[in-house]
Amino acid sequence: MSLDRRAVMAELVRDAGDTLVVAGLGSTAYDLGAAGDRAENFYLWGAMGGAAMIGLGLALAQPSRRVLVATGDGEALMGMGALATIAACGAPNLAIAVLDNGRFGETGGQASHTGRGTDLCAVAAGCGWRATARARTMAEVAALRPRLRAEALFAVIAISPEEVERFLPPRDGTWLARRLRAALGIAPD
């Protein structure tokens, strides 16, 4: 049994409230958009490997808000050092969820490192993350949701590598950034 990525993302961001959500480039950004666009969502269309650190900067700047980084295994692998940086820094209001299909889905479905044995939960634990979790069923994903809103949690969710229909969220970064800042009540510079 293999989880549908759209159903997983919909569950992760269900009743998101004022949680700030950063999605890594590619399918996770499409998944987040498909789950319902909101001003508190920030979609990456590039800057591969940067999602977690954008989440850290945001979490440090907004300590009273929850920040969720949702990204894919390829994006997380490219920014793997960020797991050490975030653990060393500490950010109690930041959680990361990796939707892991073991593939580079955007480029032809080549097997990624997680599809060849790399265990991102073990990497995060080795980097100093105290809370890590895995989910393989929708019940486990549902159990992750409140934890991702409350803990400094690193979670890996095994999803199906099956391709789903593309959903393209807004890709004007200038607009997305200012929309998010406005939602946070930040005045223009």
Partner 1 sequence: MGSVEGNAVTSWQDDVFDALKEADVRQIGYVPDAGHATTIRRAETDPDIRAVVLTTEAEGVAMAAGAWLGGQRAALLMQSSGVGNTINMLSLVSNLRMPFLTVVTMRGEWGEFNPWQVPMGTGTPAVLEAMGVLVRHAEHPAEAGLVVRAAADLAFGSSVAVAVLLSQRLIGAKVFVQKEGAR
Please tell me whether residue 54 binds partner 1 under the rule CB under 8 A: yes
Out of 38, 39, 57, 118, the only residue in the binding site for partner 1 (CB under 8 A) is 57
3 state SS for 152-184 = CEEEEEEECCCCCCCCCCCCCHHHHHHHHHHHC
| Near partner 1 by CB under 8 A: residue from 3, 8, 58, 77 | 58
Site string for partner 1, 65-104 (x = CB under 8 A): --------------x-xx-xx--xx---------------
> Judged by CB under 8 A, does residue 50 bind partner 1?
yes
Is 38 a binding residue for partner 1 by CB under 8 A? The answer is no
Distance between CA atoms of residues 123 and 83, nearest Å:
8
22 binds partner 1 (CB under 8 A): yes
User: 């100093």: which residue's tokens?
Assistant: 128
Which of 170, 185, 136, 154 minimizes the C-alpha distance to 42? 170
CA 129 to chain centre: 16
Choosing from 32, 59, 76, 124, the residue that interacts with partner 1 (CB under 8 A) is 59
- Surface-to-core class of residue 61, CB atoms within 10 Å of its CB (0-12 exposed, 13-18 middle, 19+ buried): exposed
Binding stretches for partner 1 (CB under 8 A): 20, 22, 42, 45-62, 79, 81-82, 84-85, 88-89, 173-174, 176-177, 180-181, 184, 186, 189
